[in-house]
Amino acid sequence: MLEKARIQDMGNIRELVQGFRENHRAFKDENTAEAVIRQEYIDRFWILLGWDVHNRRHRSLAEKDVVVEANVGTIEGLHIRQRCPDYLFRIDGFPRFIVEAKKCTVDIDKDKDAIFQAKTYAWNAQIPFAILTNFERFRLFDTTVKPHYQAPESEVIADFDLKFEDYEQQWDVIEQTFGREAVADGSLEKLLAKIKHVRAGRRIRGIDRMLIDLRGSEPVDKAFLAHLEDFRLRITRDLYQENKKAFTEANTKHGAARLAEAAQRIVDRLVFIRVCEDRSITSYGELRDAVNAARDNRRELYPDIVRLFRRFDERYNGYLFKAHFSEDLTIPPDSLVDFTRSLYLPDGPYRFNVIGDDILGIIYERFLGSAITVTRIGFVDAEPKPEVRHAGGVYYTPRFVVDTIVRRVVGPKIEGKQPAEILDVKILDPACGSGSFLIAALEYLYRHCIKCFDEDPKFAIVEAKAK
């Protein structure tokens, strides 16, 4: 029976390859839409590997194996806009790899935009593999390493850098690595262990996160933390150099804390704006536009940035953008320009619509574990706070532990409750740190409500309560 199914699969992939070969010249025409390649070849390729690409089993969005992005999206010159990958492959709702599809006219060996797009999504989402394909080519990338726009060839996995003519001959290996059953059995974890030279039998990945630091990897949390630390120190030094009269006691603990507060407030605001932009809470590119406008009109940059802060204060009325003494200081433009540009693709690799809220919280918890110091001769540096140094570092609870605790504590409390009743649920974490438990609890409540809506759309109707 198994041999018969294998022969049928080989016949199907042979037929698919032959059909593509016969129409190859037409597919190289610029007028051939990406959707044609996806629907007629890439979708069928993954269906042959056992994936329910078209959701024939009618699973909910939270549970289906393949999340397909309908919109192709655009790449505007070098300004790669935020979007989801064309295919997100999951097991039990947890991402395992992504596939980015392109037209046959896109040279996926050399196209920096296409390669960077695939790599950055997977890397920011902490998904270890990304595939870039136009069916003519199939390229697998190791995305545990920080992507660099100018290095498109880095981290390609040679064993899976294939041409469509290779598919039939390599089908057994492809199926044993990317077939739905194989992935559910841990084939990608085995491949990752092989690539990273991890000893056989050692578990390297949990449900949704790496369990150990892999040799040669650079996860997004560590990379972004180092990035923030570097620029906070650079901005702090610029602030002190240009505003020594405002920080006459900088070499004291209190004075250094005030200097650090000014730099921290600026960094926090810039990152917050970028997160809002990438998550479509505010218009994309506002911050970058302010930088470009100051340059084009030969104006000082920081006053323009402060005006943007004032607009955000009007919109959000929160603590972060309240009037602050840092707005009255002078800052040379170079560090602000470099930091701002590094928060946008392709100058930087960060996609803030993909980085999890818990990861951002962890990054900031570690980030705030260091303090600014200023020596008597005016040298500005950063060092771990005493309480952090004595504790051996900042510690946080791994996400899989958080999820387990939330499931066991919150789960029984909401079992059988309708969405309207969920609105009355109250959850307290009096020592919340970066808020990871509260974020996970909110997501758990959200998923419970979505499941209820899928079962009966009437649950989405909630009567307004008089105040």
**Distance of alpha carbon 281 from alpha carbon 276, whole angstroms:** 5
User: For residues 292 and 390, which has the higher predicted lDDT (pLDDT)?
Assistant: 292
| Residue 107 belongs to some domain of the structure | yes
Selected residue with higher pLDDT from 50 and 463: 50
pLDDT at 458: 80
Residue 189 confidence (pLDDT) above 70: yes
The 10s digit of each residue's pLDDT in 263-311 is 999 999 999 999 999 999 999 999 999 999 999 999 999 999 999 999 9
Q: Looking at the structure, do residues 242 and 360 belong to the same domain, yes or no?
A: yes
Of 195, 212, 242, which marks where a domain is finished?
195
Same domain, 439 and 351: no
Alpha helices in 297-435 (DSSP H): 301-316, 333-342, 357-367, 386-391, 399-414, 419-422
Q: Is residue 141 part of a domain?
A: yes
Q: Which of 391, 409, 432 is the last residue in one of the domains? A: 391
155: alpha, beta or left? (left if phi > 0; alpha if psi -120 to 50): left
| Pair (407, 375) in one structural domain | no
344 shares a domain with 441: no
Q: Does residue 296 lie within any of the structural domains?
A: yes
- Burial track 390-423 (b if 16+ CB lie within 10 A, e otherwise): eeeebebebbeebbeebeeebeeeeeebebeebe
432 lies in some domain:
yes
* Range(s) of the domain holding residue 129: 2-195
Residue 333 and residue 414 in one domain: no
Average pLDDT over residues 119-124: 96
User: Residue 447 is encoded by which pair of tokens?
Assistant: 């998923």
367 plus 408 within the same structural domain = no
Question: Is 3 a residue whose pLDDT tops 70?
Answer: no
Question: Domain count of the chain?
Answer: 3
Q: Is the Cβ–Cβ distance between 441 and 433 less than 8 Å?
A: no
467 within domain boundaries: no
Identify the pLDDT of residue 341.
Answer: 96
pTM of the model: 0.84
Residue 33 has pLDDT above 70, yes or no: yes
The amino acid that residue 268 corresponds to is D
Check residue 204 and give its pLDDT: 63
**Residue 7 shares a structural domain with residue 136:** yes
If you average pLDDT over residues 148-162, what whole number do you get?
Answer: 95
27 three-state secondary structure: helix
Return mean pLDDT, the chain.
87
In whole angstroms, give the CA distance from residue 106 to residue 100: 12
| Lowest mean pLDDT segment, chosen from 196-210, 292-306, 356-370, 450-464 | 196-210
* Residue-level pLDDT at 16: 95
pLDDT of residue 58: 86
Q: Are residues 141 and 91 in the same domain?
A: yes
344, 422: one domain = no
Same domain membership, residue 145 and residue 26: yes
CATH of the domain at 145: 3.90.1570
pLDDT of residue 296: 92
Residue 215 lies in a domain: no
Mean pLDDT to the nearest integer, 29-35: 90
Which residue has 């620029």 as its token pair? Answer: 231
pLDDT band at 208 (very low <50, low <70, confident <90, very high): low
CA distances from 96 to 66, 201, 410, 428 (A): 10, 19, 27, 33
Mean pLDDT in residue range 392-407: 72
Which band of pLDDT confidence, cut at 50, 70 and 90, is reported for residue 70? low
In which band, very low, low, confident or very high, does the pLDDT at 213 lie, cut at 50, 70 and 90? low
Q: What percent of the chain has pLDDT over 90?
A: 59
End-of-domain residue from the set 195, 212, 235: 195
| 167-179 pLDDT, tens digit each | 999 999 999 999 9
453 shares its domain with 369: no
On whether residue 201 sits in a domain, the answer given is no
**For residues 404 and 288, what is the distance between their CA atoms, to the nearest angstrom?**
40
Instruction: Say whether both 232 and 191 belong to one domain.
Output: no
The answer to the question of residue 440 being in a domain is: yes
pLDDT band at 78 (very low <50, low <70, confident <90, very high): very low
Model confidence band, residue 452 (pLDDT cutoffs 50, 70, 90): confident
8 A C-beta contact, residue 194 and residue 342: no
